[in-house]
């Protein structure tokens, strides 16, 4: 009887420990989500706050006073809204696609070719260092080069600059994806008469589609939110949406309602894209995982 009591006590303590661990895990996740979503929720509150309510007032829509949609109505009346949105969509789509298209062959070569003296690892490290360098370091060189080429304030200039900056990120992601593809599949295609480029285009690219989608999505997010190059290179004709968000100051100070509505509108595009491509993101993030 004593043995049975000890075993039952041990099982009950294990169950209590598991239950406590589950509760702590759920609480940790909930707190993390609340912290991550708080800026977005507060932006929504400020966008609905009437202009005459002080910013320091802890105002809640529908509780202390009626919400106002004046800031959202004003968003539709902003001069140059449609052109800025179109410029951002065009720059983002073309630059992200160009970065992935250029990075895919480079990543395939790093994953499949045998470079002497560890050059492949050195080139990947170089890609990483290029991505880690502050973007402002490259700005003077880009400005001088684009001025000489007559591309200042053009969409082509922003496409080339953003594609160049995000190309290392795409190359790093795709190199790991191509390394996960078994070499035997390519070797079997070579027996059938498919060459190196044929196996790359017909076998490796389709199998690495989740990583291609994930790298394109990450490049898209960085390019869509890019402000420094957009404000320095495309300030009039090629003005993008982040530059338009900045232009919320006036003689009476910053219009926080207009700033938050524009920021929320800009956030909607990458959020929707991430929701549509989440299954590709999950598959790409699982590449390289240890299977047991």
Rounded CA-CA distance 223/163 in Å is 8
Asked if residue 290 has pLDDT above 50, the reply is no
What average pLDDT does range 251-279 have in this prediction? Answer: 76
* Range 118-124 contact pairs with CB under 8 angstroms and sequence separation of 24 or more: 124/171, 124/172, 124/175
Asked if residues 266 and 176 have their Cβ atoms less than 8 Å apart, the reply is no
Asked if residue 100 has pLDDT above 90, the reply is yes
Rounded CA-CA distance 257/48 in Å is 7
Domain end, chosen from 40, 68, 96, is at 68
Q: Of the segments 32-41, 99-108, 172-181, 239-248, which one has the largest average pLDDT value?
A: 99-108
Asked if residues 223 and 96 have their Cβ atoms less than 8 Å apart, the reply is yes
290 domain residue, yes or no: no
State whether residue 113 is helix, strand or coil: coil
Are both 15 and 99 inside the same structural domain?
Answer: no
* Per-position DSSP letters for 182-238, written without gaps between them: -HHHHHHHHHTT--HHHHIIIIIHHHTHHHHHHHHHHHHHHHHT--HHHHHH-SSTT
Are both 58 and 80 inside the same structural domain?
Answer: no
pLDDT digits (tens, 9 = 90+) for 134-150: 888 889 999 999 999 99
Rounded CA-CA distance 148/32 in Å is 49
Count of domains in the chain? 2
Q: How confident is the model at residue 262 (pLDDT cuts 50, 70, 90)?
A: confident
Residue with tokens 């005459």: 52
Q: How confident is the model at residue 235 (pLDDT cuts 50, 70, 90)?
A: confident
Domain end, chosen from 68, 83, 110, is at 68
Instruction: State the pLDDT at residue 292.
Output: 39
pLDDT digits (tens, 9 = 90+) for 197-229: 888 888 888 888 888 888 898 899 889 988 888
Residue with tokens 């999505």: 217
Instruction: State the pLDDT at residue 291.
Output: 44
Chain centroid to CA 203: 27
The contacts of residue 269 (CB under 8 Å, 6+ apart) are 89, 224
Domain end, chosen from 68, 94, 123, is at 68
Instruction: Please count the CA atoms within 13 angstroms of the CA of 172 that sit on its side-chain side.
Output: 18
Are both 62 and 120 inside the same structural domain?
Answer: no
Are both 219 and 263 inside the same structural domain?
Answer: yes
Instruction: State the pLDDT at residue 155.
Output: 92
292 domain residue, yes or no: no
**Between 6 and 188, residue with greater pLDDT:** 188
Are both 116 and 63 inside the same structural domain?
Answer: no
What is the span of the domain harbouring residue 44?
2-68
Are both 112 and 229 inside the same structural domain?
Answer: yes
291 domain residue, yes or no: no
**Encoded tokens for 158:** 């922003």
User: What's the pTM?
Assistant: 0.78
Chain centroid to CA 179: 23
DSSP count for the chain of H helices, then E strands:
14, 2
Are both 80 and 194 inside the same structural domain?
Answer: yes
Inter-CA distances, 262 with 6, 26, 88, 189, Å:
64, 34, 13, 51
Q: Angle at the Cα of 150 (from 144 to 152), degrees rounded to 5? A: 70
The mean pLDDT value of the chain amounts to: 80
Are both 220 and 143 inside the same structural domain?
Answer: yes
């Amino acid at each position: 009887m004593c043995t049975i009591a000890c075993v039952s006590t041990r099982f009950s303590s294990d169950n209590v420990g598991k239950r406590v661990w589950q509760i702590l895990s759920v609480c940790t996740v909930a707190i993390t989500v609340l912290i991550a979503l708080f800026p977005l929720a507060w932006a929504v509150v400020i966008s609905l706050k009437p202009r005459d309510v002080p910013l320091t007032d802890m105002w809640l829509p529908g509780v202390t006073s009626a919400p106002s949609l004046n800031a959202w109505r004003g968003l539709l009346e902003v001069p140059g809204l449609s052109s800025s949105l179109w410029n951002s969509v065009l720059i983002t789509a073309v630059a992200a696609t160009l970065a992935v298209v250029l990075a895919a062959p480079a990543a395939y070569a790093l994953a499949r070719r045998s470079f002497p003296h560890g050059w492949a690892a050195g080139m990947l490290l170089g890609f990483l260092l290029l991505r880690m360098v502050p973007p402002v370091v490259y700005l003077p060189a880009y400005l001088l080069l684009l001025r000489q080429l007559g591309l200042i304030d053009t969409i082509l200039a922003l496409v080339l600059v953003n594609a160049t900056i995000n190309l290392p990120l795409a190359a790093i992601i795709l190199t790991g994806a191509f390394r996960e593809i078994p070499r035997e599949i390519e070797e079997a295609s070579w027996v059938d008469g498919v060459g190196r480029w044929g196996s790359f285009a017909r076998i490796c690219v389709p199998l690495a589609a989740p990583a291609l989608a994930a790298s394109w999505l990450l490049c898209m997010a960085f390019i869509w939110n890019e402000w420094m190059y957009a404000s320095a290179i495309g300030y009039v004709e090629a003005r993008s949406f982040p530059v338009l968000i900045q232009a919320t100051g006036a003689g009476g100070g910053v219009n926080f309602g207009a700033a938050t509505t524009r920021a929320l509108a800009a956030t909607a595009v990458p959020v929707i894209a991430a929701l549509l491509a989440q299954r590709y993101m999950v598959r790409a993030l699982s590449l390289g995982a240890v299977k047991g």
